[in-house]
């Protein structure tokens, strides 16, 4: 039976979702101890798993080590600690004592305290179908220094081997997928930058080394946090593997005391069968249904002015672009950087959020009215967390930025980071954002953040380390407040491209800017890594000009469109100078995208041929009675004959009609022999196939 149950005689809790069961118990010392995470079990089956702890092998090896639900430092526990505390008298070890628990439908709270010190710990478990969300609360009656506070420790079943899947990257090369054998010892994925980061992302998947796209058991853990973070995979010589994770980094501590509790971010876990494809679809369903603010919406086709005008923004050129974008079928027009203050480049003006009257003599109102009159929504770029030293704001409030005494203030992109942990900075940011949205009828904010933290200090504050957590929480609170006060407002999260993509930001952003690299060939790989966990419904993807500004590569317009149409379609080129045939093709493909958009944004993704080489890449979305197949030839070699593409996710007993060719296909044949692609000849060839289920 699905739900949460307490087996009082065994001091065991059983949490059962759609196809998985999770169980934990209290050991003889009241330590919360892992029992099971795996296939669905009945509550009657679970007691059979409650074997007595094994005796120590010797003075150095404990076969039960690594089973704690929140591995705490202390005693003879030497596993990677998820919780480290230091009491005022220097004591570090934690000794658990169970107090009580509460079960409210899908939510379990288990309350503990330390046996001697006034520290209280609450472990939270919340079921979302087959995803289990976990987090921890700490509270104390006297000041306690918390050296490390991860959200949870996840204990995986013992397997003969373990393989890790994760992504790495850099600016313009985010989310590159890697699958490697788990090393013995500790493997840590982390960001110390104050943001999620381009170089890694806070999730990891684990399998036994045999899982494929379609077969095998896969476990995944993902952290909902947009600041500095850490995930540690620990593999012991005894064969056990755990994953613990949370916010924070080495050298940064938290203080807990009267009136100052600490709540860690959610860390979500998911176990699936059916390989990496099933894991991805389950994560996508979870994000769409339980994370995104408006899961049922369809994201509009967007036009952004950045690549057309750069910083050279004025009312006239934006009106011209808006008229051309509306004629193509765009539904949202976004003015990018350069509309405010002395912002004629990236060297000045950031922080002075007032309309540049030389560029917009009548303010933004005439342009907003023109865009709305063209039948489009109006959006605008902002970067609230940053300031240029060459700005009125910085000259007035130099103390508002992150800084340390007697240390330089390092600039990146000529910017410094504002300290959003400060109440005065938060009030200032809310005031101008609230006016911008409310006074001008802004429908959409592109919220950017173009550099990581440095010199992250807060001189004069009694607890300067708290800024690492409170900055991110202040950003969350501001986004939440803007949404509440302006229910029609929609938001895109950006951080120099994909530097702030995570479950925490997706709970507040309707879409995310995946990468500053819009090169369609590179995007196939970036989007492949992104899609391991995050859904197309939130993946912003643009069609831009030839040659691409990052790579210098030129590709056919149809290929560029087909790659961007696999997510939330946007246009970012200088469309005023596109030739007539390109404009005509763009109108045709935008209309096609609007037809397939429900399938792409709400459908289940099947990765048919991933981008592991430079040959064919193909994937498919299935939603209700429709399927959309995307196929791309990156490079043609040796005149190799084209093979049919085996599809997935269809009903073998049904028939499907190709909406463009008019041909019908047996579902069974499409699943076994495959679909003839009929790609055009040559490199950078692509095709989109629309299939609809019909009665036999």
Averaged pLDDT for residues 335-341: 98
Percent of the chain with pLDDT over 70: 100
What is the model's pLDDT at position 60?
85
For 345-389, how does the pLDDT look when each residue is reduced to its tens digit (9 = 90+)? 999 999 999 999 999 999 999 999 999 999 999 999 999 999 999
Averaged pLDDT for residues 678-691: 95
Per 3-state DSSP, the chain is made up of helix, strand and coil in percentages (nearest 5) of: 25, 30, 45
pLDDT band at 235 (very low <50, low <70, confident <90, very high): very high
CATH number for the region 302-602 comes to 3.20.20.70
Of 537, 454, 525, 422, which is closest to residue 490 (Cα–Cα)? 537
Residue 52 is assigned to a ligand binding site:
no
Higher pLDDT, 447 or 76: 447
Active site residues: 448, 516
Lowest mean pLDDT among 179-188, 236-245, 636-645: 636-645
Strands 444-447, 490-493: pairing is: parallel
Residue 696 reports pLDDT greater than 70? no
Residue 582 is assigned to a ligand binding site:
no
Longest dimension (CA), the chain: 80
Residue 62 is assigned to a ligand binding site:
no
What is the model's pLDDT at position 272?
98
Q: Is 502 helix (H, G, I), strand (E, B) or coil?
A: coil
pLDDT band at 616 (very low <50, low <70, confident <90, very high): very high
For 498-528, how does the pLDDT look when each residue is reduced to its tens digit (9 = 90+)? 999 999 999 999 999 999 999 999 999 999 9
Residue 75 reports pLDDT greater than 90? no
For 111-165, how does the pLDDT look when each residue is reduced to its tens digit (9 = 90+)? 999 999 999 999 999 999 899 999 999 999 999 999 999 999 999 999 999 999 9
What is the model's pLDDT at position 193?
98
Sequence-ordered list of residues with C-beta below 8 angstroms from that of 9, at least 6 positions apart, any chain? none
Distance CA 648, CA 277 (A): 10
Residue 240 reports pLDDT greater than 90? yes
In contact, 491 and 485? CB cutoff 8 Å: no
Residue 673 is assigned to a ligand binding site:
no
Residue 581 reports pLDDT greater than 80? yes
Residue 449 is assigned to a ligand binding site:
yes
Distance CA 474, CA 480 (A): 10
Of 78, 74, 87, 159, which is closest to residue 117 (Cα–Cα)? 87
Domain with CATH 2.60.40.1180 in the chain: 609-694
Of 77, 48, 58, 15, which is closest to residue 242 (Cα–Cα)? 77
Query: Nearest 5°: phi and psi at 616?
Result: -80, 135
Sequence-ordered list of residues with C-beta below 8 angstroms from that of 260, at least 6 positions apart, any chain? none
> End-to-end CA distance of the chain, in Å?
38
Residue 447 is assigned to a ligand binding site:
yes
Distance CA 648, CA 670 (A): 8
Distance CA 579, CA 562 (A): 19
How many helical (H) and strand (E) elements, i.e. helices and strands, does the chain have? Answer: 12, 37
Quick one: angle between helices 315-328 and 580-602, nearest 10? 70
Q: Is 64 helix (H, G, I), strand (E, B) or coil?
A: coil
Residue 662 reports pLDDT greater than 80? yes
Domain with CATH 2.70.98.60 in the chain: 3-291
CATH superfamily of 609-694: Golgi alpha-mannosidase II (2.60.40.1180)
For 176-197, how does the pLDDT look when each residue is reduced to its tens digit (9 = 90+)? 999 999 999 999 999 999 999 9
Distances (CA, A) of 64 to 78, 142, 184: 11, 33, 17
Averaged pLDDT for residues 31-58: 92
**Per-position DSSP letters for 509-544, written without gaps between them:** -SEEE--S---HHHHHHHHHHHTTTS-GGGEEEEE-
Residue 304 is assigned to a ligand binding site:
no
Distances (CA, A) of 55 to 51, 164, 234, 241, 624: 12, 31, 22, 20, 54
Residue 244 is assigned to a ligand binding site:
no
Distance CA 661, CA 473 (A): 52
Residue 319 is assigned to a ligand binding site:
no
pLDDT band at 55 (very low <50, low <70, confident <90, very high): confident
Residue 173 reports pLDDT greater than 90? yes
Q: How many residues does the chain have?
A: 696
Residue 2 reports pLDDT greater than 90? no
What is the model's pLDDT at position 379?
98
Averaged pLDDT for residues 441-465: 97
Domain with CATH 3.20.20.70 in the chain: 302-602
CATH 2.70.98.60 at 3-291, yes or no = yes
Q: Residue 450, Cα to own-chain centre: how many angstroms?
A: 17
Residue 450 is assigned to a ligand binding site:
yes
Query: Nearest 5°: phi and psi at 127?
Result: -85, 130
Sequence-ordered list of residues with C-beta below 8 angstroms from that of 592, at least 6 positions apart, any chain? 565, 688
Residue 99 is assigned to a ligand binding site:
no
What is the model's pLDDT at position 238?
84
């Amino acid at each position: 039976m699905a739900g949460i149950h307490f087996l009082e005689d065994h001091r065991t809790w059983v949490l059962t979702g759609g196809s998985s069961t999770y169980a934990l118990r209290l050991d003889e010392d009241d330590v919360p101890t892992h029992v099971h995470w795996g296939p669905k079990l009945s509550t009657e089956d679970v007691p059979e798993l409650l074997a007595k702890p094994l005796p120590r092998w010797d003075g150095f090896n404990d076969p039960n080590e690594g089973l704690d639900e929140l591995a705490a430092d202390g005693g003879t526990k030497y596993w990677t600690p998820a919780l480290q505390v230091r009491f005022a008298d220097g004591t570090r070890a934690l000794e658990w004592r169970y107090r009580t628990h509460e079960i409210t439908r899908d939510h379990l709270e288990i309350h503990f305290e330390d046996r001697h010190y006034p520290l209280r710990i609450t472990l939270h478990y919340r079921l979302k179908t087959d995803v289990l969300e976990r987090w921890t609360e700490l509270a104390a009656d006297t000041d306690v220094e918390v050296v490390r506070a991860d959200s949870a420790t996840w204990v995986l079943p013992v397997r003969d081997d373990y393989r890790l899947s994760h992504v790495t990257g850099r600016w313009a090369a985010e989310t590159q997928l890697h699958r490697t054998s788990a090393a013995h010892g500790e493997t840590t994925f982390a960001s110390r930058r104050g943001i999620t980061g381009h170089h890694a992302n806070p999730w990891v998947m684990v399998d036994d080394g045999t899982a494929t796209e379609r077969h095998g058991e896969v476990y995944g853990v993902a952290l909902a946090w947009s600041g500095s973070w850490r995930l540690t995979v620990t593999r012991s010589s005894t064969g056990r593997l755990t994953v613990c994770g949370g916010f924070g980094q080495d050298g940064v501590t938290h203080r807990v005391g009267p009136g100052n509790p600490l709540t860690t971010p959610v860390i979500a876990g998911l176990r699936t069968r059916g390989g990496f494809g099933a894991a991805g679809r389950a994560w996508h369903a979870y994000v769409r249904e339980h994370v995104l603010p408006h899961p049922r919406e369809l994201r509009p086709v967007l036009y952004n002015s950045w690549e057309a005008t750069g910083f050279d923004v004025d009312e006239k050129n934006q009106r011209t672009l808006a008229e051309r974008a509306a004629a193509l079928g765009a539904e949202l027009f976004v003015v990018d950087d350069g509309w405010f203050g002395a912002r004629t480049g990236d060297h000045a003006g950031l922080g002075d959020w007032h309309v540049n009257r030389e560029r917009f003599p009548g303010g933004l109102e005439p342009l907003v009215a023109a865009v709305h009159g063209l039948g489009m929504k109006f959006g605008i770029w902002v970067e609230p967390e940053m300031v240029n030293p060459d700005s009125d704001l910085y000259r007035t409030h130099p103390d508002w930025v992150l800084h340390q005494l007697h240390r330089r203030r390092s600039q990146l992109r000529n910017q410094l980071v504002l300290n959003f942990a400060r109440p005065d900075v938060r009030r200032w940011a809310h005031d101008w954002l609230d006016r911008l949205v409310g006074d001008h009828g802004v429908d959409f904010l592109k919220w950017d953040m173009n550099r990581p933290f440095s010199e992250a200090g807060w001189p004069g504050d009694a607890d300067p380390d708290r800024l690492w957590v409170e900055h991110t929480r202040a950003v969350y609170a501001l986004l939440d407040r803007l949404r509440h006060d302006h229910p029609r407002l929609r938001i895109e999260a950006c951080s120099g491209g994909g530097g702030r993509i995570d479950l925490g930001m997706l709970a507040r952003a309707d879409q995310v800017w995946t990468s500053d690299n819009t090169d369609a060939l590179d995007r196939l790989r970036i989007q492949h890594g992104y899609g391991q966990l995050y859904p197309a419904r939130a993946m912003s993807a643009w069609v831009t000009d030839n040659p691409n500004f990052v790579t210098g590569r030129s590709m056919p317009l149809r290929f560029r469109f087909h790659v961007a149409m696999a997510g939330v379609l946007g246009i970012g080129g200088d469309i005023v100078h596109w030739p007539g045939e390109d404009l005509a093709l763009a109108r045709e493909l935008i209309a096609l995208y609007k037809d397939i958009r429900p399938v792409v944004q709400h459908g289940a993704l099947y990765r048919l041929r991933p981008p592991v080489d430079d040959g064919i890449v193909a994937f498919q979305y299935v939603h209700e009675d429709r399927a959309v197949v995307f196929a791309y030839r990156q490079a043609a070699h040796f005149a190799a004959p084209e093979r049919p593409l085996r599809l997935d996710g269809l009903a073998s007993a049904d028939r499907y009609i190709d909406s463009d060719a008019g041909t019908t296909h047996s579902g069974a044949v499409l699943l076994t022999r495959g679909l003839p692609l009929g790609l055009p000849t040559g490199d950078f060839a692509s095709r989109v196939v629309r299939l609809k289920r019909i009665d036999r």
